[in-house]
Amino acid sequence: MDINLIWRELSFFTSSLHSQKYLSHCYKQLKIAEHDKKSFDNCYPFIYYLEHGKSYYESAKISPLSIRPVLLFYGMIQLLKACLLTVDPNYPESTSVLAHGVTTRKRKKQSYEFLQDEVKIQRNGLYTHIAEKMFYMRHLEGEKCSMENLLKLVGELGRLFTYSKKAPELYPIVRMDDHIVSISKLVLDRYNMTEKRFIEYLQTACPSLHIEPSTKKDKHNIILHSPKTNWAGLQKSPLVYHMYEDTYYLPSNREQMSAFSEILVHYLVLYNLSMISRYETEWWSELLHSYATEDYPFINQFLAVSADKIPYYIYHYLMSKA
């Protein structure tokens, strides 16, 4: 979907009448008492978060790369706060959810490489609140995530990893229709599994997809049936999604399978980049002007993808509750 069309579709919520009805519907689904009062109280904050987020993204489009991570990070934060209001009518209920919820490690300036950098998830803060309320993920505190591993979960960077890091190709999941997909049997050797074990593994790793073996058989491909799942146009964690191709992939290494929603991946990477651009000015400036490391193309491409992909995911998240 075109990014301009996404913003036009989201403009539906710039009416307090529309937003209140929408939030009331969300709260009814959650069986929240006084859903009409809560939706009335939250409809304007909901609109303001969306409008503020849009302003950040529009500014990021015309900004120099040096400050773009900050604008994209805070734009994403505003959009995520709007999403939180659909599942947590009392947000922000305490000051503990106002902090970012992530920390960066100290850097050695002489040998620092962005792809090898890590962030650490804190017990409290916005990150863990989003993970729990929006994606039903708990107990993330203390987990360390490397930038390289996180970026490998962004489908649009797959070719860059193949060219630069010599990483094996991702395995495409070919949609035969909205409920039937096929995967090359070559993945069985990579995962060291039989077809039956592989299907059981996917059922455990991707319970929301409701995967079943298909009655259709193919000599070269594994055919899967997902009667309750429409595969069109929305990320399905822990698969890797390529938005521009509207294609899903399996990582070539099963250790790379992650239950993280890609929104949470972008949060961690953008947080780190925004901190670097603000507080590591010397390294950041050298990166942008010397082109001497392999970090630059990964950062540049990621920022371009994130500017399109986060509004896309936010739109689908909100529409899924309509």
Summarize pLDDT for 61-98 with one digit per residue, the tens: 999 999 999 999 999 999 999 999 999 999 998 888 88
Residue 227 reports pLDDT greater than 60:
yes
* Confidence at residue 236, expressed as pLDDT on a 0 to 100 scale: 65
Strand partners, 221: 184
pTM of this structure? 0.92
The pLDDT-based confidence of 36 (bands split at 50, 70, 90) is very high
Please provide the average confidence, as pLDDT, over all residues in the chain.
Answer: 89
* Confidence at residue 232, expressed as pLDDT on a 0 to 100 scale: 59
Q: What is the CA radius of gyration of the chain?
A: 20
Ranges 2-11, 41-50, 118-127, 234-243: which has the least confidence: 234-243
Element (H, E) at 10: helix 3-10
Residue 55 reports pLDDT greater than 90:
yes
* Confidence at residue 164, expressed as pLDDT on a 0 to 100 scale: 86
Q: Are 272 and 148 in contact (CB under 8 A)?
A: no
Kindly give, in sequence order, each residue whose CB lies less than 8 Å from that of residue 170, ignoring residues fewer than 6 positions away: 155, 158, 240, 249, 250, 251, 252
Which of 2-16, 48-62, 108-122, 153-167 is predicted most confidently? Answer: 48-62
DSSP for 15-35 reads SHHHHHHHHHHHHHHTT-TTH
What is the torsional sign of CA 52, 54, 57, 58? negative
In terms of C-beta density within 10 A (0-12 exposed, 13-18 middle, 19 or more buried), how is residue 51 classed? middle
Average of per-residue pLDDT across 257-286: 90
CA distance 146 to 157: 16
